[in-house]
């Protein structure tokens, strides 16, 4: 099982899709959620999370982890 990694301690090493734990603020209030977002590794300075634009919510990613391995056939 993979572990959550705090984004203040370490960011993903390469561009890929990751599972993220985030704080979300929207019209209904504040809540936490688990989502999958792409991380774009550019040069170590301009790297960023590709979060779909939604004017109704503010997303703050706090932790990430790699996707699990694909299921094995039979």
Please indicate, yes or no, if residue 17 is contained in any of the structural domains. Answer: yes
Summarize pLDDT for 43-67 with one digit per residue, the tens. 988 999 999 999 999 999 999 999 9
Quote the domain boundaries for residue 50: 5-66
Please indicate, yes or no, if residue 37 is contained in any of the structural domains. Answer: yes
pTM of the model: 0.87
Instruction: Quote the CA–CA distance of 54 and 8 in Å, as a whole number.
Output: 24
* Total domains, the chain: 1
Please indicate, yes or no, if residue 52 is contained in any of the structural domains. Answer: yes
């Amino acid at each position: 099982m993979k572990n959550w990694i705090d984004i203040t301690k370490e960011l993903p090493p390469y561009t890929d899709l990751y599972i993220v734990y985030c704080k979300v603020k929207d019209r209904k209030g504040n809540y936490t959620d688990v989502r999958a977002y792409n991380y774009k590794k550019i040069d170590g300075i301009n790297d960023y999370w590709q979060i779909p634009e939604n004017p109704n919510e503010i997303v703050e990613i706090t932790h990430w982890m790699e996707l699990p391995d694909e299921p094995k056939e039979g």
